[in-house]
Structures are given as structure tokens and as C-alpha cells.
Amino acid sequence: MPRTRAKAHLRLTRDAERLIALSNGLNASGSLTEDRFWEAEMSALTAKLLENGNDAPIDGALDHLYATNLGAYDTLIELVENDSESLVVMQADHAWQALLIAAPIVAWSKYAIPSGAISRGEADALRVQLQAHVLAEGARVTLVPYLYSIDQLPRHFSELRKLATRLAEAAIANEAPRLDLARLPETAHLLADTRFLVACAAVPRGQAMFRWQEDASGHAGRAGSLEQWIAQARPTISKLLPGCVFECLLPDAYYVNCRESDRRVRPFGVRAAVAFLENALKAKAAEIHAVVAGFGEERVDEYRIAFTRGDDSEVAHGVVWPLYGREDETAHPGPLDEALAQLAECGVTEVKKLPGTFTPEYCEDCGAPLFANGEGEIVHAELPEEADVQAAHFH
């Protein structure tokens, strides 16, 4: 889940300046001994800010470091994410380590992808499978009886910390979570999207959290847990997502799985878009052309794929292929190659790649991203009048 970066603040608070100094110190550290000093100082400060619901110094420090020192930025965001999704809870004289877990489900459908409350029986079934196949023996876990869309997840670090705290206390007490889920925002209807199951696991501090840690099986153990999770949880998830093609990811720490689901949903978005246009335009995939352009402020942050019927300059539909981290610099094959390969796999044979980097623009009325047509003009995606409206309105 990409973090939206605001423009750097003109004036940094004292706490923001302290976080910047600590992050630069940790990034330049030459030993684990020094690392632990900087980490302890940073964790103490970020914990105080998160507990007080004060995200502004953290956001200010991240914005500043993103522009000045990407290594220190990576250092700070990793620590802040960890302090948001994990915590130590004292119960009497016992210390429990708790971790917020996300179980993403990447889906696409010609119908609306469901979200919202799930029954207690279905939630209990999923919690049992999570405990049996993913978590270490003896781990306590609670699962939120809700299928979240990305729009409904906490937007700020302090909000996530508050959720993690409530769920950790429920997990340790072996209770169902008490959350007000009625006021969550509406879900944006997309052809391809991710749904999330959110849980929290707790173990006595120092013990293994996940099943693959217990026998030090590493990647092989993760693969086995994923196979079991898919086999055992899929029947219940199928009931939650009728009419959807979906892929289950291995339940894991919240932030790492949000990012992984963002990457995994991208091919689904292209597939869904081509299927959508085939129905709406009554056209074969080979008759649909694509224009791919890079968009960003200082570098390419995302590729926007515009679809047209034949050589028409009017964009009928568009898909955003976002980049994460330094993916555009280090990935081989790169994300552009992956996007082009996905278009080819879907049968789109005519693809035009525009040179340069375009400034991201959005519709002032609806907020939708604008796309580049074959002439390099930035336009709104609009279905042609002759499109089959009934087929187009899948949602």
C-alpha cells in the first residue's frame, strides 16, 4: 500500500528534526551495537508520537528524508511501520509480543467485489485455519469479522497502532474484538481490487510467532503454510467472494502484505480491463490498442495504460500500474516489462510506449486519473456512445 507523500513542510517540528537526525545516524551506523542504540532512541520517540495520535512529525520527517536521503527514509519508515503493527503487552508479570496480520485476497470480477461484515461462523472458521496452518503452536489470535477494502483500512500510523493495541488485548484474552465497524467508508468499485482479512496474533515474548519459525524451515515452511491456507481457507473465502476470480496470499505482517497485494493486483487490473472492454465494445482483444506512459513528479512513480478501440484517439478505459519503493531502478525484468507482458498475455498486440515522464493529472470533477492518448495528449477515459452500457456497468 503506497504511502501518499505530501510536499515537504516548510518548517519541521522539533520531533521531526530529531527523527531525521536519528534516522541519518542509524543509516550511517557501522555496527549492530550502534544500530541498537539508534533504534532504541527512535522507537521511544515514535512510540510516544503514535500513542498521542501525533503523525505530523513522522510524516514531516519522512517527506524530508524522501527528498534528501532515501537510505535514511527506508530506515525510518521500516521502524515506524514496525512500531505501528507490533507491540509488547504486559499481562500481570508476563510480556506478550503481538503482531497485526493481514491476509490479502486479490480478486477481479465483472460484478461488484464484495466487502463488509462476515458472519461469526465464517470468521471463526478462518481464525481456526489461521491458527492451525500459519501461526506457531500456542499463539493466541483474534480475527476481525470484516472483509476490508483498501479504502477501509487505517490511513495513518497512529490509527493502525490503536487498532493493533485493541486487537492485541483481545487476542491475549482469547476474546472477539470489540470494534465499531459501522462507520467505515464506502468501498470504491473497481474491476480488480484487494480484500483484506485482518487479525492479530500474540505469543509470549521471545517465542516464535509463525509456524515456519518453529523448525527454522524458512521459505520452504512458508510455502507449505500457504498451500495449507489456500486449501483450507479457500472454501470459506469463496462464499465471501461469489462470482470472483481470486488469489490468496500468505497471511503475514500487515505492512509487508499490503505492499505485496498492491503488486499482485496489477496484472489482475489489466486482465479485468481487457475483459471489460471486450464485453462493452463487443471487440476482440486484438482490436483493442494500448498506450503506455510513465507519470511522476521527479521520476516515474506509475505507468498509466490507456485503452482505445483500434487507432482511435479517444481513451475508452485506463488502468494505473503503480511502482513501489525503488522497483523501477532495480527490478529485472522491470515493471514496464511486466505490464507489457501482461498486455500481450491478454491478447493486446498493438501497444504504443510514449517517451518521457508526464505530470500526474486527475479529473477535477470525479478525481479519476487522466491518461495519455497516442498523440501524448492527457485526456479523460470515456466509453464511446455506442458501447454496450449494460455490459459496461458491471457494478
Extents of the domains making up the chain? 14-83, 92-256, 282-392
Given a contact cutoff of 8 angstroms between Cβ atoms, the answer to whether 254 and 282 are in contact is: no
Residue 279 predicted with pLDDT over 80: yes
Q: Which candidate, 268, 322, 319, places its Cα nearest to that of 290?
A: 319
Q: Which candidate, 257, 243, 251, 276, places its Cα nearest to that of 107?
A: 243
Q: Give the list of residues 6+ apart from residue 209 with CB closer than 8 angstroms, or none.
A: 97, 99, 135, 136, 139, 201, 203
Q: How far apart are CA 198 and CA 86, in angstroms?
A: 13
When the pLDDT of each residue in the chain is averaged and rounded to a whole number, the result is 90
Phi/psi for 72 (5° steps) reads -70, -35
Least confident stretch, 139-148, 154-163, 203-212, 326-335: 326-335
Kindly indicate the confidence band of residue 325, based on its pLDDT and cuts at 50, 70 and 90.
low
Kindly indicate the confidence band of residue 8, based on its pLDDT and cuts at 50, 70 and 90.
very low
The C-alpha cell at 185 is 467508508
Sign for the CA dihedral angle at 192, 233, 187, 162 comes to negative
Cis amide linkage into residue 322, ω under 30° from 0: no
Q: Tell me, what's the pLDDT at 5? A: 43
Q: Tell me, what's the pLDDT at 3? A: 42
Kindly indicate the confidence band of residue 261, based on its pLDDT and cuts at 50, 70 and 90.
very high
Give SS3 for 77. helix
Q: How far apart are CA 41 and CA 28, in angstroms?
A: 15
Residue 4 predicted with pLDDT over 90: no
Cα→Cα distances 79→45, 58, 230, Å: 11, 11, 31
14-65 pLDDT tens trace: 999 999 999 999 999 999 999 999 999 999 999 999 999 999 999 999 999 9
